[in-house]
Chains A and B, each alone.
Chain A
Amino acid sequence: MNHLKTGLLMAGMVAGVATMATSAVQAKTLIVGMACDRTGPTQSVGVVLCPAYHDYVKLINSKGGVMGNKVKVIEIDTQYKVPASVEAYQRFKKEGAVVVALWGTPMTQAITPNLNADHIPGTSPGFGTAAAANGEKYPYLFPMAASYWSQAGAAVTFAKQELGGDMKGKKIAFIFYDNPAGREPLPVLDKLAKMEGFELKKFAIPPPGVEMKVQVQDIVRRYRADFVISHLFGKGPAVHIKEFKRMGFPLKKVLSFVWGAGESDINGAGGWAKAQGYNALNFAGVGSDYAILDEIKAMYKAQGKDGPKQMVNSVYYNRGILAAAVHLKAMEMAIKAKGSGDITGEDVQKGFLAIKDFRLDGILPPLDFTELDHEGGGWARVFRVEGDGFVPAGDWLRGYRDVVIEMLKAE
């Protein structure tokens, strides 16, 4: 009995010394807060995007973490609700998060004042207000992907290409969901219409944004648009593909903003065969043909599992990769600058600004953050439905950057 006691005591002491020894050299655990929507109105995106984020972090952790520091993600499902998001943010702050991933435009707006006060950088790829890309006004908010303004610029650039390089007198229809996010690109489009001399007509789709037969008929039959730019959410994109198809309008002349670009939208419209030619803007690469995704698959395989099933929805999956990759890159930059893993939100904010030409083997555009431009350049790429998937229609582009920057400064 006594032997057992001493034995246990010894074992305990050895274990204690061992943990002390490891903790002395052990690097810090870096905390990331992620607000997510897996059960709310935008769950179709959340259930793909959030696991992708976790996958990327797992991959980096399996390789030893960010410069030797492990990353821990605290995810909170906010159901696209503001009070829940506020609570989630306070939780992240309490846990010592050095960067937070926000979700949803109203929530981003509600949390932005806190970010600046608490010096914790937050990211809002593809949502939030376009004016928030102005880093001089919102130093701690990083949209880190093309805002609706930049998307409008990219859309007009693409339309110009498709229309043979000259837009004078051409008729462009803009069909959009009638809420603040939907109306956001209007000032840019109005400006570009004057600059390029095309005629712009706006077709608003009232909430809930799924009934648009009349508007589509109007665009195709009465207005006879030369090109259509669409900006819809939720089930809206699938419906508008169907309606344009039914009217016999060539989908090659339809370009959707980033929230009408998912595989789920194509499935909702009746499958790939029904959506041939449909174009959509993206701020991360589409498809599974990237080195980083192969690495994730290999990691799963090494554990004896199949690859993540969310990867089928490559559009949202890759956006999750984008968010994770940029966050971890910013941390890496912060650690490099500081020389240790003991970083704060302020360091990570500077880390974001230190990111230059970050491509991650082509899945990302050449992101490049500056004091003013927290969008990372406002890059977008058009992907087109051809055969059984999306194929790129041209390279990464940013249209009318000067116009967007000018508006950013004016805000």
Chain B
Amino acid sequence: MRFRKRQRLVLVVVAMLLLSGATALILASLQDSIAFFATPSELAAREVEPGKTFRIGGLVVEGSVVREPDGTVRFAVTDTVEQVPVVYRGMLPDLFREGQGVVALGKLGDDGVFVASEVLAKHDERYMPREVSDALKEAGYWEEQEAETPQ
């Protein structure tokens, strides 16, 4: 019986150690590896610390896409109220188009330009990223036909 108790004690101690270790890891990494989402209006309204990774979403402004010879792409993202200039070096997703919804992950530079490390477009003709539709709703603008497309 004493043996059984000791066995249980060892198990509990190991399990507690593991769980506290995992919790510590989680807390440490949640500090700096989660990315908040901001709409262009929120960006304009409040200061976002430069150097912090976050995501922005909205529609690509018509006529704003400029492709530079070194492969860098510049465009602006809007929630129909405010605009944020974005610079991205890399390959854009297939469904990236002017006037369409995108979500970009990156950091805000000192010059107010959002430097994206990843750009996601909606992956299907039938809907747009949820963050984007929410951002548009918040800004009081929403493409009705997009919402009503039968699923």
Q: Does B bind A?
A: no
A residues contacting B by CB (< 8 A) are none
B-side residues, CB < 8 A to A, are none
